[in-house]
Amino acid sequence: MSNWPRHWRRFRKRLEITEKVLSIEYRVSRQKQRTFLFHVSCLISVVLLLSASYSQAQTTYNLYDPPLKRILFLVDGSGSMVGKWGEDSKFEISKNLIFNLVDSLEKANPKIQFGLRVFGHQFPKSLDNCEDSKLEIPFAAKNAQKIKTMLDGVKPQGQTPIAYSIFQSAFDFPDDGKSQNAIIIVTDGIETCDGDPCAASLVLQQKRISLKPFIIGLNPAEIEAGYFDCVGSYFGVETQPAFNNTLNTIMSQALNTTSLQINLLDINNKATETNVSMTLSDAYSREVIYNFIHTLRADGTPDTLHIDPVGKYDLTVHTIPPRFKNDFELTPGTHNIISVPAPQGSLSLKIEKDNTQQSVQCIIREAYSPNILYVQDVNSDQKYIVGDYDLEILTLPRIIKRSIPIKQSEVNEIIIEKAGTLSITPDQTYIASICIKVVDQFETIYEWKELKEKVTLSLQPGEYYCVYRQNKFKRSDFTHTRTFTIKSGVITNLKL
């Protein structure tokens, strides 16, 4: 596996793409001055974000070297959080559940770190501050108590700037390029600042900064169904036990390893195809992330990859022609199976070589298509996706075979007759050509403008015509047409 070199050039390209995406997103929603200011600040933050998180965007890891996991809590400190579930406020309940979870996980696993960002807690709603969002506890080991103490002092009161907070959270993850990151948003309402949480989340995905945010909605009745679907995985909870269960579910997704199994399906939809090279690339930036040769394990099942579940992937299976599975996501913490139909059979081109003949090539095209798929050397086998192909074998004359079927796991053997040799001995200087006759029509396949000494030419077995005229005779009617036969592996002598 490779760690891709991190060039600034590539980074700049990504930056341009992201800016484009952002300006499109925001052109739509930019109506009020407030939004405009937010837009400007978002662009600035993205630029900063990109420089800050550059190396995270390139994160790769595998199972054998489990990465550090960082989980950022984005907690709603808006006024509505003071609302009560039973005896305690929603904010109180959130605080206690988060503390318990962080405390137990930190103790159990030193490779997990937590951070805390709170929004809507610094300014009262009347001040309408849409940048009221702050990283209160940065990532570090043993943060549980700090988080609890901090939340103890918070008085929920303000707006709900979710989009802005998501953007800002990109800077909260330390730039050491080694962690796998997740964001958990705890909120009881929707965006109140005209921001676009979807666009914010998309940037995190495109930069491969974090898993899609997990959103826990504490007031599902007031959150429109589907509102958070484009942001991440949404869970609506109405009771403390449900909240607790949801947190645990999210944790297992964020912390467990994610695996990917790619099934290359044969014609019967069984995962038997293998030994094909594959490329996984980033669906947003198109950058290549991994190259693999598909492998079956000893038990005959496709081998499993452990890859970063953040972001979206494109898969190219380098069969001939290639097969694609584009724009797919992995469910974090689970075993993901991606199936790609790649039924293959083989084409075997055989010719008995004669010594004078150079190696012969065969042009492969999909039936009735002008595009060349592959150039296969004669005397080799090559696998192709099941289907019909046109073959153009570059012998003399060329042999064209149309709609040659390739069937699942079968070898279609095309045997080309061994060429024969034409040996021409001229006694004078001639202009001469070799023709074949296809249904009464002459077709020139080779020509000598000045034939003055003995030459040999490899030709496929068959009937030929030699049309020739002495160069020095300035009369067309001195043209002669001679027929001759070429037999496989035999030299045919022609004296002019």
Partner 1 sequence: MIKRISSREQKNTKRTLVLWCSCGTLIFLSNFSLRFLRLCVLLLFLSQSLFAQTLQDEERTTRILFVFDASASMLQKWDMNSGLKSDEAKEILTKIIDSLDNVPNVEVGLRVYGHQFTVPENNCEDTKLEAPFAVRNGAYIKARLAQIKFRGITPIAYSLMKAANDFPDTLGRNIIILLTDGDESCEGNPCEVVKELQRKGVILKPFVIGIGASLEVEQSLSCFGTFYNSPTPEMFHEIMYAIVNRAISKTTLQVNLNDALGHPSETDVNMTFYDHETGIPVYNFYHTLNDAGLPDTIPADPVFTYDIMVHTLPPIWKKNIVLTPKKHNVVDIDAAQGFLDIKMEGTGTYSGVTQKIKCLVMKEDDIETLNVQSFNTTQKYLVGKYDLELLTLPRIHLDDVEIAANKTSSITIPTPGTITLNKRSNGYGGIFVYEENVLTKIYEFENTQMKEVIALQPGKYKIVYRTKFAKTMHETNEQDFEIKSGESKSLNF
Binding site for partner 1 (CB under 8 A): 1-2, 62, 275-277, 279, 281, 285-288, 291-298, 303, 305, 316, 318, 320, 322, 358-359, 361, 363, 370, 372, 374-375, 380-382, 392, 394, 398, 427-428, 431, 433, 435, 437, 440-444, 449, 465, 467-470, 473-483, 495
Cβ closest to partner 1, residue 142 vs residue 449: 449
What is the closest distance, in whole angstroms, from the C-beta atom of residue 433 to partner 1 in the complex? 5
What is the closest distance, in whole angstroms, from the C-beta atom of residue 412 to partner 1 in the complex? 17
Tabulate helix, strand, coil % of the chain (nearest 5): 25, 40, 35
State the amino acid at position 432 in one-letter form: A
Cβ closest to partner 1, residue 253 vs residue 285: 285
Rounded Cα distance between 278 and 256, Å, is 25
Cβ-based neighbours of 400, under 8 Å, separated by 6 or more: 390, 391, 392, 393
Cβ closest to partner 1, residue 183 vs residue 305: 305
Cβ closest to partner 1, residue 331 vs residue 483: 483
What is the closest distance, in whole angstroms, from the C-beta atom of residue 494 to partner 1 in the complex? 11
Residue 68 contacts residue 113 (beta carbons within 8 Å): yes
What is the closest distance, in whole angstroms, from the C-beta atom of residue 272 to partner 1 in the complex? 15
What is the closest distance, in whole angstroms, from the C-beta atom of residue 384 to partner 1 in the complex? 11
Cβ closest to partner 1, residue 80 vs residue 316: 316
Question: Cα angle vertex 90, ends 88, 95, to 5°?
Answer: 90
Rounded Cα distance between 67 and 387, Å, is 44
Cβ-based neighbours of 181, under 8 Å, separated by 6 or more: 56, 69, 70, 71, 72, 173, 209, 210, 211, 310
CA distances from 362 to 46, 388, 488 (A): 52, 15, 19
Cβ-based neighbours of 110, under 8 Å, separated by 6 or more: 141
What is the closest distance, in whole angstroms, from the C-beta atom of residue 483 to partner 1 in the complex? 5
Cβ closest to partner 1, residue 141 vs residue 400: 400
b/e map 477-489, b = 16+ CB within 10 Å: eeeeeeebebeee
What is the closest distance, in whole angstroms, from the C-beta atom of residue 295 to partner 1 in the complex? 5
Cβ closest to partner 1, residue 227 vs residue 446: 446
Closest CA to 380 of 360, 399, 365, 400: 360
Cβ closest to partner 1, residue 252 vs residue 428: 428
Please give the DSSP secondary-structure letter assigned to residue 478: G
CB-CB neighbours of 213 under 10 Å = 25
What is the closest distance, in whole angstroms, from the C-beta atom of residue 21 to partner 1 in the complex? 17
